[in-house]
């Protein structure tokens, strides 16, 4: 009797993307990247102007407008987020994070009310009925001061710059996928996209904050760098682990 040998596939090789598909993805990535950089140009210049005002304020000049206000409310609330992902070995992991948010409401000179998220340190200093001083830049509230504490906010231009920068990071990811990636299922595409975007979140936030207020120093800088490296490193490890052949 003659025995036949059959080769059993031990792993599934990823299906390579056709050349036309790669070209389409590369063009799409370049388009998103170019559009994001173009959109970020204006907010970038405005944020640099805000940075100049911050540097001036830290000197001897009074470079922000001021407005008297009154603290009229304090509130805390908790949000819960649950994330689930599957690693390269097929194991499913679920993590739940609870975050406490602190809000302070003030009444402006025209009688209108504004509510903003603040740090826990400022929240503990702001009491209802307490007078406050608002710091204005081009008519926008960018800071609030009370006796014993102050809180500064990123201007709207900084928020727009952050959004455009994050979109540019997405375009870079699409471009890299078109150049070096492959197709091995919709789930893996979503998984890698999530890992890529999460990896760039904190670096983008830290870069925009540094542009608006200057690079932190000392313990604050060390803490921010460690947190950024930790979370970006975790998502980067998830991304690299998913690139192994299945």
Q: What is the mean pLDDT of the segment spanning 18-43?
A: 93
| pTM, rounded to two decimals | 0.79
CA 42, 43, 49: angle at the middle one, nearest 5?
95
- Give 214's pLDDT tier (boundaries 50, 70, 90): confident
User: How many other CB atoms are there within 10 angstroms of residue 194's CB atom?
Assistant: 15
CATH code of the domain made up of 64-152 = 2.40.50.660
Sorted by where each begins, the domain ranges of the chain are: 19-46+156-241, 64-152
CB of 163 closer than 8 Å to CB of 43: no
Q: What is the pLDDT of residue 182?
A: 78
- How far is residue 2's CA from residue 14's CA, in Å, rounded to a whole number? 34
Q: If 0-12 CB within 10 Å is exposed, 13-18 middle and 19+ buried, where does residue 179 land?
A: exposed
User: pLDDT tens digits, residue range 112-164?
Assistant: 999 999 999 999 999 999 999 999 999 899 999 999 889 999 999 999 999 99
| Adjacent-strand bridge partners of 114 | 106
In this prediction, residue 184 carries a pLDDT of 81
- Give the DSSP letter string of the chain: -PPPP-PPP-SPPPBPPPHHHHHHHHHHHHHHHHHHHHHHHHHHHHHHHHHHHHHHHTTTS--SEEEEEEEEEEEEEEEEEEEEEE-TTS-EEEEEEEEEEEEEEEE-TTS-EEEEEE-HHHHHH--TT-EEEEEEETTEEEEEEETTEEEE---HHHHHHHHHHHHHHHHHHHHHHHHH--B--HHHHHHHHHHHHHHHHHHHHHHHHHHHH----HHHHHHHHHHHHHHHHHHHHHHHHTTS--
* Confidence band of 85 (pLDDT split at 50, 70, 90): low
Whether pLDDT at 11 is above 50: no
């Amino acid at each position: 009797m003659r025995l036949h040998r059959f080769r059993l596939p031990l792993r599934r090789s990823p299906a390579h993307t056709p050349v036309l598909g790669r070209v389409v993805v590369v063009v799409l990535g370049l388009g998103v990247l170019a559009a994001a950089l173009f959109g970020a140009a204006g907010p970038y210049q405005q944020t640099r102007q805000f940075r100049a005002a911050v540097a001036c304020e830290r000197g001897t000049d009074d470079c922000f407008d001021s407005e008297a206000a009154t603290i009229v409310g304090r509130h805390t609330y908790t949000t819960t987020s649950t994330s689930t992902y599957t690693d390269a070995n097929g194991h499913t992991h679920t993590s739940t994070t609870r975050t406490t948010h602190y809000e302070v409401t003030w009444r402006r000179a025209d009688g209108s009310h504004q509510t903003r998220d603040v740090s826990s340190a400022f929240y503990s200093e702001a009491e209802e009925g307490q007078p406050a001083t608002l710091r204005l830049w081009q008519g926008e509230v960018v800071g609030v001061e009370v006796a014993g504490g102050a809180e500064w906010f990123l201007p709207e231009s900084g928020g727009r710059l952050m959004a455009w920068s994050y979109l540019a990071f997405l375009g870079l990811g699409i471009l890299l996928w078109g150049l070096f990636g492959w197709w091995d299922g919709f789930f893996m595409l979503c998984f890698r996209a999530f890992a890529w975007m999460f990896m760039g979140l904190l670096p983008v936030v830290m870069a925009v904050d540094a542009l608006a207020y200057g690079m932190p120093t000392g313990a604050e800088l060390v803490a921010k760098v460690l947190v950024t490296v930790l979370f970006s490193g975790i998502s980067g490890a998830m991304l690299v682990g998913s690139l192994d052949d299945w």
